[in-house]
């Protein structure tokens, strides 16, 4: 009877404590410098020629210091499934941090996708987000 009671007490503890959902990295885009107030407001459309600020937040911390940011636009006139790479930047982050901020400028209106890759693994992005430039 005691073993059965212990099993019914321990099993839920293992289930709820052992299977915690992993927090995923994400990016925040903003038309101005990103502050605590702007973290609550989601922006997905921007004007051409304006600075687009971004902040990457990686709750578990960065795995590697080398990061590649790639911005692609959807274009119907390409043979690459309709996407054209518009901008690529490589940079390094401090592994002890879990936040990185910077900005970029896009001159053409269109539908864009921003992706972040580790330089060690350029095949799969660990963050991506879609947005519009008018």
Q: What is the pLDDT of residue 10?
A: 72
Q: What is the pLDDT of residue 66?
A: 95
What is the three-state SS of 85-125? EEEEEEEECCCCCCEEEEEEECCCCEEEEEEEEECCECCCC
Q: What is the pLDDT of residue 18?
A: 59
Q: What is the pLDDT of residue 70?
A: 96
CATH of the domain spanning 22-133, picked from 2.60.40.1930, 3.40.50.1000, 3.40.50.720, 3.10.290.10: 2.60.40.1930
Give the Å distances, CA to CA, from 103 to 50, 51, 68, 93, 125: 10, 6, 14, 15, 19
Query: Which portions of the chain are predicted below pLDDT 50?
Result: none
Q: Could you tell me the residue ranges of all domains in the chain?
A: 22-133
Enter the pTM of the model: 0.78
**Could you report the per-residue pLDDT of 115-124, keeping only the tens digit for each?**
999 999 889 9
């Amino acid at each position: 009877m005691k073993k059965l009671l212990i099993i019914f007490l321990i099993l839920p503890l293992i289930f709820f404590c052992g299977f915690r959902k992993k927090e995923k990295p994400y990016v925040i885009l903003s038309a101005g410098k990103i502050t605590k107030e702007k973290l609550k407001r989601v922006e997905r459309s921007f004007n051409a020629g304006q600075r687009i600020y971004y902040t990457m937040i990686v709750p578990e911390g960065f795995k590697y210091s080398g990061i590649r940011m790639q911005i692609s636009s959807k274009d119907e006139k390409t043979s690459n499934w309709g996407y054209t790479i518009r901008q690529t930047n490589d940079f390094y982050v401090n592994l002890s941090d879990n936040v990185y901020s910077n900005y970029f400028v896009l001159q053409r209106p269109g539908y864009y996708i921003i992706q972040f890759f580790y330089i060690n693994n350029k095949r799969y992005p660990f963050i991506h987000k879609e947005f519009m430039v008018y």
